[in-house]
Amino acid sequence: MPHVPSDIEIAQQAKLRSIVDVAAELGLGADELDLYGKYKAKVDLDIAGRPARGRLVLVTGINPTAAGEGKSTVTVGVTQALRRRGVNAVLCIREPSLGPVFGVKGGAAGGGYSQVLPMEDINLHFTGDFHAISSAHSLLSAMLDNHLHHGNSLRIDPRRISWPRTIDMNDRALRDAVIGLGGVANGFSREERWVIIPASEVMAIVALATSRDDLEARLGRIIVASTAGGERKPVYASDLRAVGAMSLLLKDALRPNLVQTLEGGPAFVHAGPFGNIAHGCNSILATRTALALADVVVTEAGFGSDLGAEKFFDIKCRFGGLNPEAAILVATVRALKLNGGANKKNLGTEDLGALERGLTNLEKHIENVRQFGIPVIVAVNRFVTDTDTELAMLSDSARKLEARVALTEVWAHGGRGGEALASELMTALGEASGKYAPLYDTSLSIREKIDTIVRKVYGGDGADFVPKAERAIQYLESIGLRDTPVCMAKTQYSLTDDATKLGRPTGFRITVNEIYPAAGAGFVVAQAGDIMTMPGLPKEPAAERMSIAKDGTIAGLF
């Protein structure tokens, strides 16, 4: 069999353009860039304040499975295809987290011939944004414990500290820990937890801030704890006088990063919240910058329409004043067969029965996007094992639901493999038949908003709240957090809060076991089911297969 090059081999063989030349195509001059070597640059924040000229397109997907969907790859590929058609298109995606890079994925910058470059840099330290966010988060943690050590004049109740610590690595041992051991000099002993950086509220703030002033205001609103006694007042980052120093650490991380696709087109890669435990979208500033410079902007949201897309529409677009005009929904035969009960070891074998059963999952995700007033194009991401009969069944099913459909082969062929999808997208944008609107009004109670999401997006019968969550709702609404969006945290593998329930389950309810504030980000987080904000490494982590040769060449990144 011929050798099929890996993603990293493809990336290493690519000839990159100077980032100055890439920027020039967008009308950006050298004085509007800060270069990070030859192929990466930070762009000025002022550009995001220019009037929008572009049209915004979201890429989302069905529920992810072990079979793979290729949502990021399709996002890159369709952008490359648009540029092949002569469209001034720009890509906007998130930065990868080191946790998944060294855990399961081994890389998260697209794949095959639809990648963003330089792939190795983007997947590793890139321009240092994650480190800056980690440092700002850790500074607030240190200042909080320092305040306790030096007299606690704010009367913080150590049992009611809500601010965790963070690290950008999958480390299950840090989910729950005890700190401050070793005596009086080491501070107070107390329970502590760590979250991965994509779940940090500082990450969410960087992704949702619209300016430096907005960044500082949001940092100041972070709730770190509450006071002792019956009145239980919230304690903010501003009370600890941490905002100025945190802003200093984040001054460059706030600026969007400009890189390029494998075919040399411009791409903004900025911020990286996860879609299952955070809001899952790249930064408002990067998206606004792209909209000011391009005619079509393609962005993605984490996981399926029930998670990333819902939060894109209800959180990011609401805060950013964005107007999405179309959505691409990525689906694969393999994933839908798995949703229909097929054995994951036999996904390369034709199984029309499993595919037919799994198509209900696709149907629900199409419905979800349409609830926001957005036309849908189903991108059938082809795998080599898919049969013509299976592909026809999937496509016919989507067309019966009155969705546009396009077969895509962007992993194998890059932009050339996405030309049919690009054509369908431009036709949909030309018709301009949709009008975006959020799903719910933020004036609803926290309980009502959660119930709306469960019923309309997940297809459930409603939400149940454990006593701890009930008490949290009462407290959060009492301190002014009633009129905010809700960021749901649940499994990405199912429309329910149970990862084993695939397809399109009905007759279920979601159990909300914890609700906590992300006041700086501007929302409250509701956790459902067995979801964790600190992942663990698998039995055989991707890190075991990585190495660096004597000539500096990296191997095993994907």
d(CA 351, CA 393): 11
Instruction: Say if CB 338 and CB 67 are below 8 A apart.
Output: yes
Instruction: Say if CB 109 and CB 316 are below 8 A apart.
Output: no
d(CA 142, CA 138): 6
Place of tokens 């005009």: 325
- Per-domain residue ranges for the chain? 7-127+253-431, 129-250, 446-528
d(CA 240, CA 148): 11
pTM of the shown model: 0.96
Q: Same CATH fold, 446-528 and 7-127+253-431?
A: no
Best CATH choice for the domain 7-127+253-431 from the list 3.20.20.70, 3.50.30.40, 3.40.50.300, 3.30.450.20? 3.40.50.300
Report, as ranges of residue numbers, the positions in the chain whose pLDDT lies below 70. 1-2, 4, 105-107, 433
* Predicted pLDDT at 558: 75
Instruction: Say if CB 497 and CB 506 are below 8 A apart.
Output: no
* Predicted pLDDT at 161: 96
- In our burial notation (b when 16+ CB lie closer than 10 A, e otherwise), range 171-200 reads eeebeeeeebeeeeeebeeeebbbbbbbbb
Instruction: Say if CB 53 and CB 90 are below 8 A apart.
Output: no
Q: Classify 500 as helix, strand or coil.
A: coil
Q: Is the preceding peptide bond at 51 cis, omega within 30 degrees of 0? A: no
DSSP H/E element including 208 = helix 201-208
Instruction: Say if CB 102 and CB 169 are below 8 A apart.
Output: yes
Instruction: Give the model confidence (pLDDT) of 515-531 as tens digits.
Output: 999 999 999 999 999 99
Q: What token pair was written down for 484?
A: 């905010």
Fold of 446-528: Formyltetrahydrofolate synthetase; domain 3 (3.10.410)
* Predicted pLDDT at 105: 64
Q: What token pair was written down for 485?
A: 């969006």
Instruction: Give the model confidence (pLDDT) of 177-227 as tens digits.
Output: 999 999 999 988 999 999 999 999 999 999 999 999 999 999 999 999 999
Q: Where are the alpha helices (DSSP H) in 373-532?
A: 388-400, 410-413, 419-431, 446-453, 467-478
* Architecture of the domain whose range is 129-250: 2-Layer Sandwich (3.30)
* Predicted pLDDT at 230: 81
* Predicted pLDDT at 557: 81
Q: Which residues on neighbouring strands pair with residue 58, listed in sequence order?
A: 299, 327
* Predicted pLDDT at 107: 65
* Predicted pLDDT at 556: 83
